[in-house]
Structure 1
């Protein structure tokens, strides 16, 4: 009889193995390296969002701010606020989305992207999916730093 364990069941049965793998992936970054990569990512997204919302007359009271590792994007009462921040102790970027809720992204140097391991979606893919409906135009978050795109322009 063959027995197949789902990844969810496997992680519940063997949680230490997965937490160890997570540490192995990120242990190669020093604190300063992590903060540099995280801040480049957040600053790049901040600049891109500022450019996007500049011409969005339908968005009232919209603004974005980046300070001390925290990016806040307020799309007003209708769409809510995104908070994206670095978590240095965990070496993660955390996102709180009014559409999809909270997510924690790990940096994968091999692909130069921040990935949510529960669904393997990158931070930039999530923004690429959610933001167009808010700004009512096409977006390209893959132009931002550490998006997994080979050419960030």
Structure 2
């Protein structure tokens, strides 16, 4: 199913990017298990990103901006928070 492929790819890509980032920040940690990605970022706190297959969404809980639910937008190839049009990648780049 398209959602499964897209969400798995997104989570794996995020994990790779975050693993690279935490190499430069000794106190940081990232873990991915059972579709849940947990990032401990020293200056901010803990982020939780997880897949929500029933809704076909990816959910993010940020210690800075709170919870958001992202839907996949085929036109742009991005996960978008429909309330404000922000993207999952964009939020992480801004906050991290």
What TM-score, normalized by structure 2, do the two folds share? 0.93
Determine helix, strand or coil for the equivalent of 2:55: coil
Determine helix, strand or coil for the equivalent of 2:54: coil
Gaps of 5+ in 2: none
Work out whether 1:85 is the aligned partner of 2:54.
no
Cα distance in 1 between the residues matched to 2:95 and 2:58: 18
The structure with the larger Rg is 1
| Residue of structure 1 in register with 2:25 after alignment | 56
Q: Which has the higher contact order (CA 8 A, sep 6+)?
A: 1
| Residue of structure 1 in register with 2:80 after alignment | 115
| Residue of structure 1 in register with 2:62 after alignment | 97
What TM-score, normalized by structure 1, do the two folds share? 0.60
1:5-25 CA-to-partner distances (Å, cap 9, x unmatched) read xxxxxxxxxxxxxxxxxxxxx
| Residue of structure 1 in register with 2:34 after alignment | 68
Moved over 6 A (4+): none
Cα distance in 2 between the residues matched to 1:109 and 1:91: 13
1:80-114 CA-to-partner distances (Å, cap 9, x unmatched) read 11000010000000000000000000001111000
Give matches, 1:2-151, under 5 Å: 32-57=1-26, 60=27, 62-76=28-42, 78-131=43-96
Cα distance in 1 between the residues matched to 2:83 and 2:12: 25
How many positions carry a matched residue from both structures? 96
Cα distance in 2 between the residues matched to 1:51 and 1:41: 16
Cα distance in 2 between the residues matched to 1:72 and 1:64: 6
